[in-house]
Structure 1
């Protein structure tokens, strides 16, 4: 039986849901919000299938793109990293 490395809907929702809600309160431009959400979702799907070292995963992903898309990918992933850092810093256990 093959093991799927693709995130299931629940995993993807758990990662994207809070990000999308936070992004809506932070980014007034709907076009940018939609683009960030799409690019972060694409990254999460790609990352779930990536077998390389996690430490340089983002760099490997960025190598798949050229300008102007590369700038958009970097911007979206920067915002996602900021969101993850805030969530980690404010996590109550």
Structure 2
């Protein structure tokens, strides 16, 4: 996978493309990126700017963090259920 382009570069290319002075295919060629890459950047920029529905980068990061916390809580829950019988005094009493 090629290295990601800097945000400033992507923003500049999107700004030029939005001006509509040249076809997408030509702009992509001029900037040395694929046409699909430029179209993806334009789509994501529209989402970020609120012009198109979709998940913004901030929302995506928030969702990723929430999933991570849920996974950790689920692991802690499983662990506590396994440890619970051994942590209470009555767990070691014998029935007479």
With normalisation by structure 2, the TM-score equals 0.32
Please identify the structure whose Cα radius of gyration is greater: 2
Bigger RCO (CA 8 Å, 6+ sep): 1
